[in-house]
Amino acid sequence: IAGNGGVGVVVSSYWGSDLILQDCIIEHNASGIQLSREHNGDDFWNYEITRCTVVSNDGFGIYKTDNIPLLLNNCVVALNQASGIDISTLAGVTAYCNDSYGNIAGDWVNAAGALSGMDGNFSADPLFCDPTHRDYTISEDSPCAPGNHPDGADCGLIGALGVGCAGPVGVE
């Protein structure tokens, strides 16, 4: 999902079903993912965001203001011009093996700050192969590549795209 003048993915008002995003790239939008659905207490909805790369958006990466359960795993949220992962409440949030890095207004913001350093979540340069030319595959040395987690966690691939280049590269 790229090049939108608005938010790449937005869920607001009353949405009638679960939201599942998997193996996706959300890039170069006004902002990445906004989760702000109203919940009337009778419905059982869930968000699941798995192996996604949310990168280089003009605003936030992932912004969640509601109390709908969220499973966020194996995602890279990087180089956004506002916050990386900004969650107002951790009620119902499960997050593991995510890399939030290089976001201008902070990587783990508000309640999401408690997730940093827990359950395989970290902040490190994902070592994209060529972000200037929108190549978001990762270097073989990336902390997001299987077996390279900075804390040794067994997370497998983090992000939507696998290894696409050799050697150290990075974000400047």
Lowest mean pLDDT segment, chosen from 12-16, 64-68, 88-92, 110-114: 12-16
What was the pLDDT predicted at 107? 98
Task: State the average pLDDT over residues 113-138.
Answer: 96
pLDDT of residue 65: 87
Please enumerate, as own/partner, the contacts of 86-94 that have beta carbons within 8 Å and a separation of 24 or more. 86/60, 86/61, 86/62, 86/110, 86/112, 87/62, 87/111, 87/112, 87/115, 88/64, 90/114, 90/115, 91/67, 92/67, 92/68, 93/64, 93/69, 94/69, 94/70
pTM to 2 decimals?
Answer: 0.91
Kindly report the average pLDDT of the chain as a whole number. Answer: 89
pLDDT value of residue 13: 60
What pLDDT score was predicted for residue 67?
A: 80
